[in-house]
Structure 1
Amino acid sequence: MNLLGSTKHLRKIVAPYEKSSVWRSVWQMFNTFAPLFILWYVAYLSLSVSYWLTLPLTAITAGLLVRVFIIFHDCCHGSFFANRRANEIVGTIAGILTCCPLNQWRYSHSMHHATNGNLDRRGTGDIRTLTVQEYLALPFYKRMGYRIYRNPFVLFGLGPIYIFLFEYRFNRKDAKIKERLNTYIVNAGIVAAAGLLCWAFGWQAFLLIQGPTFLISGIAGFWLFYVQHQFEHSYFEKNENWNYVDAALQGSSFYKLPKVLQWFTGNIGYHHIHHLSPRVPNYYLERTHDENEMLQSDHPITLFTSLRSFRFRIWDEHRKQLMGFGYIKRFKLEQSKGGGA
């Protein structure tokens, strides 16, 4: 089947799942926001018993915050509600809870969808990934900078803190007035919410609960985004060979998680389907997968096998796979012997 025919056929397959359901969306909001607020208060009450009791509660609260982010994510795509204004309102509220400005993130994430796996259009809304040749062409200090950036402690530890707490507080240079205003509204909402919680429960209690909740949810969110595109046989091509369908189905993973984690992550493990059609609401992703054999991945990534992604750092254009930094020496040796990669 040619690419155009394949694209039209796939569009026909996913079209029935692209319509949101008001009652499903409202129910998901209720079973996410309500337990989030209740559990946060229970975590506060547990402080008077033992902080060792509080910490596990903050971990569950963090899971619910990840689920809030999935709602935010769907609102950015306009898939959570059919009504645009409803997506804007719910998305902005979810953005306050997750420290993400709706319009700013919508722009960068739309760029990510439009350029995922395109070696000539990288740089917005993605994990920086160099090819072997690009890495070797860099001066020493930039190579070290890239190695530091790809270090798990930096990427998953410092990364969420910098991105969510600092970078998202400022508008990008070319942002239009609507995007700028939304960032200001979200920033004001974050300050107001934090101030209200500090006034009601005390700043020490706020930090003891919100600190680990934010950190755990941030690490989990970064890991999900990372493993959804940073797996061994992912997809990266030059612009002339790149196409949207292959980038979606080959360059986005099917992360097969245990059911409880699938619930907390809002089915985002079906990421290949999400990239094929961002208009499919998160609560229909599993059904879209299960009811269409053509969309069922032969090589799902499991919780255990996803740990291999920690070692993937650099893309080899000849092997068409992600490699670790240890591969660089072998590549240079093969090149010096004239064997190629």
Structure 2
Amino acid sequence: MGSLGVDFISPNEKLELKFDSSSLPPFKLSEIRAAIPKHCWIKNPWKSLSYVLRDIIIVFALVTMAIFFDNWKFWPIYWILQGTMFWAIFVLGHDCGHGSFSDSALLNSVVGHILHSFILVPYHGWRISHKTHHQNHGNVEADESWVPMPEKLYKELDYATKLFRFKIPFPLIAYPLYLMRRSPGKKGSHFNPYSDLFQANERKFIVTSTLCWTLMVALLFYLSTVVGFLQLLKLYGIPYMIFVMWLDSVTYLHHHDHEEKLPWYRGKEWSYLRGGLTTVDRDYGVFNNIHHDIGTHVIHHLFPQIPHYHLVEATKAAKPVFGKYYREPKKSGAIPFHLVENLVKSMKKDHYVSDNGDVVYYQTDPKIFNYSGKKDE
């Protein structure tokens, strides 16, 4: 101990303090915005439409190939490829919902309805709830997507609900149910104009989207009478489920990390910037470009107006401002197998958050994996 009461550290020693990702960032949102090149904010509707054309051509080319080959050696390949393309189409519709597709509200709405209705997503219903998610990301009380359960609510769930939500990978196919009923502890439907999700002036939009969704369901029913239910299941149904798995997996991975506990906030501790910094970027290897660089999620969360084709450049420009608050994604090979481990481990660990405290982290319920049949005390 030195004369000033400070421990002496030799030159060969390093004192490494663990970085607290929940601490107040030393930068402002305006500083991140200023670091991003101005051209990254420009929306080119023709470029956006070119991606739509690309994806639609691939979708119909795959359908043509599946009908031509029509054998069980090709069907599994088709399902994976087509399900991935459905997911890519969802991302483009998602850009329409954010207004990052173009500066034209009409073009965004028309293209968004076509793309999202094709994959059975109510465009306005989901657009509005997703906007709520972006405006409240990282807020335990107000967030919309993959919101952590408060401990009290978690303990009120029966074992079967916990089993399906956390032990069996049911959440990876739960998106259709979420559209119908939302998450446990929340009420409302993305199809009901009188749902708690929507304001009175938004009801007409919900009616329009629900009608488009209904027309798509009717078209699918008609097609099943033409080509047969089994053929439609192979051409559309199974790829749709692959798309749902993509959607739920990617969304989950962007808001969980098994290697680092991500903070969640309540009350005055929450801010738009702090909430956005709790999201995680991911490297999806060969899929990065296929699903329109959705892995650059931090910048997208903070500035959803940036078109997807500028997100990589915007992220690189903002990283010096982020500093340690940016979690560098683990580099992937062609196929992002490492994300499967992250997904599985996160689902095993991230169950609920404490009812107390304004900065909280996911906690683990070991009883899920060692069920005794006894209720929580």
Alignment TM-score, normalising by the size of structure 2: 0.75
Alignment of 1:69-148 (within 5 A): 69-122=90-143, 125-131=144-150, 133-134=151-152, 138-139=155-156, 141-142=157-158, 145-148=161-164
Deviations 1:55-100 (A, max 9, x none): 2112101111110000110000111011110000000001111211
Larger displacement relative to structure 2 (34-43 or 61-70): 34-43
Contact 1:171/1:183, CA 8 A, preserved across alignment: no
Q: In the alignment, residue 270 of structure 1 is paired with which amino acid? A: T
The 1:257–1:9 alpha-carbon spacing in structure 2 relative to 1, beyond 3 Å, is same
Q: Structure 1 pair 86/245, CA: closer, same or farther in 2 (3 Å)? A: same
TM-score (norm 1): 0.82
Please name the residue that 1:337 is paired with. none
Aligned mates of 2:239, 2:191 — CA distance in 1: 19
The amino acid across from 1:326 in the alignment is: P
- In the alignment of these two chains, the number of paired residues is 318
Identity of matched residues, % = 18
Structure number with higher helix proportion: 1
| Native 8 Å contact 1:43 1:58 kept in 2 | no
Deviation (angstroms), 1:328: 9.7
Q: Which residue does the alignment assign to 1:273?
A: 299
1:17-73: CA deviation from partner (whole Å, max 9, x where unpaired): 2221123202111111111122122212222xx123112112101111110000110
Paired letter, 1:236: W
Query: For each residue in 1:142-170, what CA deviation from the matched residue of structure 2 results, as whole angstroms up to 9, or x when unmatched?
Result: 4663453233432113x134346886554
Give the Cα separation in 2 of the matches to 1:59 and 1:290. 31
RMSD: 2.9
Partner of 2:51: 28
The answer to whether the 8 A contact 2:261-2:361 is kept is yes
Larger radius of gyration: 2
State the Cα deviation string for residues 239-282 of structure 1 (Å, max 9, x = none): 21011112112x11011120x21122221111111111010111
Of 14, 17, 32, which aligns to 1:10?
32
1:310 to 344, 347, 370: 347
**Could you tell me which amino acid in structure 1 is paired with residue 365 of structure 2?**
F
| 1:142-200 deviation line (CA, Å, top 9, x unaligned) | 4663453233432113x134346886554452543322322233223313441454365
For the residue of structure 1 that corresponds to 2:270, the secondary structure is: coil
SS in 2 for 1:150: helix
Distance 2:102 2:170 in 1: 36
Q: Which residue is 1:182 aligned to?
A: 208
The 10-residue stretch of structure 1 (300-309 or 312-321) with the greater mean CA deviation from structure 2: 312-321
Counterpart pick for 1:233 among 253, 258, 261: 261
SS in 2 for 1:221: helix
Q: What corresponds to 1:19 in structure 2?
A: 42
Q: How does 1:219-298 map to 2 (within 5 A)?
A: 219-231=245-257, 232-249=260-277, 251-258=278-285, 260-294=286-320, 295=322, 297-298=326-327
CA distance in 2, matches of 1:237, 1:127: 14
2:85 alignment partner, one of 64, 67, 71: 64
Q: For structure 1, which segment, 284-293 or 298-307, has the greater mean C-alpha deviation from structure 2 after superposition? A: 298-307
The superposition leaves residues 217-244 of structure 1 with CA deviations (integer Å, 9 ceiling, x where unpaired) of 1111100011111224223011210111
SS at match of 2:249: helix
The structural deviation recorded for 1:311 is 2.0
CA gap of 1:56–1:169, structure 2 versus 1, over 3 A, is farther
Give the Cα separation in 2 of the matches to 1:100 and 1:226: 18
Equivalent residue for 1:43? 66
Deviations 1:84-130 (A, max 9, x none): 100000000011112111111111101111121112324xx312412
Task: Write the distance in 2 (CA, Å) between the matches of 1:242 and 1:229.
Answer: 16
Q: Give the distance between the partners of 2:64 and 2:25, measured in 1 at CA.
A: 53
Residue segments in structure 2 that go unaligned for 5+ positions in a row: 1-23, 182-188, 370-377
Structure 2 CA distance for aligned equivalents of residues 15 and 181 of structure 1: 39
| Equivalent pair of 1:312/1:323 in contact (CA under 8 Å) | yes
| Preserved contact between residue 44 and residue 102 of structure 2 (Cα < 8 Å) | yes
